[in-house]
Amino acid sequence: MSYNKMPSITAETINPKVRMFTYEPCGEIVRHARLLEQEIYDNPGSLPFQEIIYCNLGNPQALGQQPINFFREVLSLCDNPPLIYRDEARALFSACALKRANRILESLPAKDSGSYTSSQGVRSLRQVVADGIAARDGFPSRAEDIFLTDGASSAINMMMQILIRSPEDSILCPLPEYPLYSGSIILHGGTMVPYYLTEDNGWGLEIFEVKRCLEDARASGLTVRAMVVINPGNPTGQVLSMTSQEEIVEFCRKEGLVILADEVYQDNVYTENKKFNSFKKVARSLGYDQEDLSVVSFHSVSMGYYGECGRRGGYMEICGFGSEVIDEIYKLSSLTICPNIAGQILISLIMDPPKLGDESFETFMTEKEETYSSLLKSAKTLQKAFSSLEGVSCNKFEGAMYLFPRLRLPPLAIRAAELEGVSPDVFYAHRLLGATGIAVVPGSGFHPVSGTSHIRCTILPGEEKIAAMVPRLRAFHEAFMEEFRG
């Protein structure tokens, strides 16, 4: 019997949309880093460094951020219900962790963490999230508007599935962007309409620029359905001013656009004169209700002082969609049956952490503040280091977890990059990695204004690591500039 020995599925025959997008934070730079890591393992001492410092991804705990003890206590108890009733548990776990775990278990199917739940997430956990949102914003929130999700990424993908019907359907997205957006829009067959953030204005958002992009898109026959706003921003680290947020709300209401508010860095704000305001709160403060404007807010367990990104937890709060649409979103979420339970529990804990008077409160606050101050110190040191380098200017660190310094490289370096067939930022990032073991993401992966070069460096906690990193960075940069000065 003869049969075709060629694989029927090749890179050429898969869905071409999958090949069209890139996701640089986990792309070439990581492949390069893994090769170097293998080299360190196979031939110790063969490279000028002993470890790779992964500043490519916002992966807080992998970079040394400590988990919050209360969250971990509750998670372990929920995974081991019999522990709650053992005498030793009183010595090992705080009373409020025992109480919280007991309350959560009571609401889970079969009082255990191993079953499927409602596709929207456990009702009582959604209620806790809604209450947390209401307490944060000062405006009501309803459990029926909350979908618990496997991280913000799955919620964002779900919204793209809901909103994109054809290639004409398009979504306004900030550039530089977090590449999940371009990837997801391509995958779902829509069109991304970029609007540029202004680097010279602290990566602020100019509403006239967004309006110009919307008008151009409409003139070319596109149907713009939504506007993505990432606040605090990734990769740009800015926190939007209240004026800017109000302008966005007014604009989206007038133009009939859904606001897709990516608020995963809401607990990463480091500037004293700005604070996080959810878009829903801004809309309600301006007097707009469900009927006036649709806002979807995404949050996650991944970042902030909790940094539990491996748990894959999050929520989206959907305001201003009719109940028939909510039913369809429910159906869509039921394709993956339910979000994972640890993630559901964790997002409820983040939205309702220990309060003043709870036994765990002081420890919780100490842990939280230690993480903040460590990240802030690191950010300041790194920002100062980048700004002091020849040909480099660095954005002010206001929020999120990244610095996005701009590189002005000598013409000879740009020429050398051209000869290698890569952009100058890619050339620089790989050289930096090869010489120091520091993995940063070439800025072109976030699609900034063409002709500019940046790198994105994740802030890692821990003074010792930063102290070791800065001289390496400086020595590399000086040697690089010297080599290509001409």
Ligand X SMILES: Cc1ncc(COP(=O)(O)O)c(C=O)c1O
Q: Which residues would be at the binding site for ligand X (CB under 6 A)?
A: 58, 151-153, 178, 180, 230, 234, 262, 264, 300, 302, 309, 314
Least spacing, CB of residue 110 vs ligand X, in Å: 27
* Eight-class DSSP state of 302: S
Residue placing its CB nearer to ligand X in the complex, 244 or 302: 302
Least spacing, CB of residue 234 vs ligand X, in Å: 4
Least spacing, CB of residue 308 vs ligand X, in Å: 9
Residue placing its CB nearer to ligand X in the complex, 58 or 424: 58
Least spacing, CB of residue 264 vs ligand X, in Å: 5
> Which residues have CB under 8 Å from 297's CB, separation 6+?
261, 263, 278, 279, 280, 316, 317, 319
Please give the Cα distance from 17 to 454 (Å, whole number): 27
323: exposed, middle or buried (C-beta count within 10 Å: 0-12, 13-18, 19+)? exposed
Amino acid making up residue 362? E
Residue placing its CB nearer to ligand X in the complex, 137 or 262: 262
Residue 12, SS3 per DSSP = coil
Residue placing its CB nearer to ligand X in the complex, 222 or 264: 264
Residue placing its CB nearer to ligand X in the complex, 280 or 311: 311
Burial state string for 439-453 with b = 16 or more CB within 10 A and e = fewer than 16:
bbbbbbbbbbeeeeb
Residue placing its CB nearer to ligand X in the complex, 71 or 178: 178
Place of tokens 């405006």: 139
Tokens of 395: 């954005």
Least spacing, CB of residue 469 vs ligand X, in Å: 21
**Backbone CA torsion sign across 281, 282, 286, 291:** negative
Whether the CB-CB separation of 407 and 386 falls below 8 Å is answered with no
Q: Which residue is nearest to ligand X (CB)?
A: 151
Least spacing, CB of residue 180 vs ligand X, in Å: 6
The tally of CA atoms less than 13 A away on the side-chain side of residue 392 is 24
Least spacing, CB of residue 27 vs ligand X, in Å: 14
Residue placing its CB nearer to ligand X in the complex, 97 or 301: 301
Q: Which of 192, 201, 196 is CA-nearest to residue 175?
A: 196
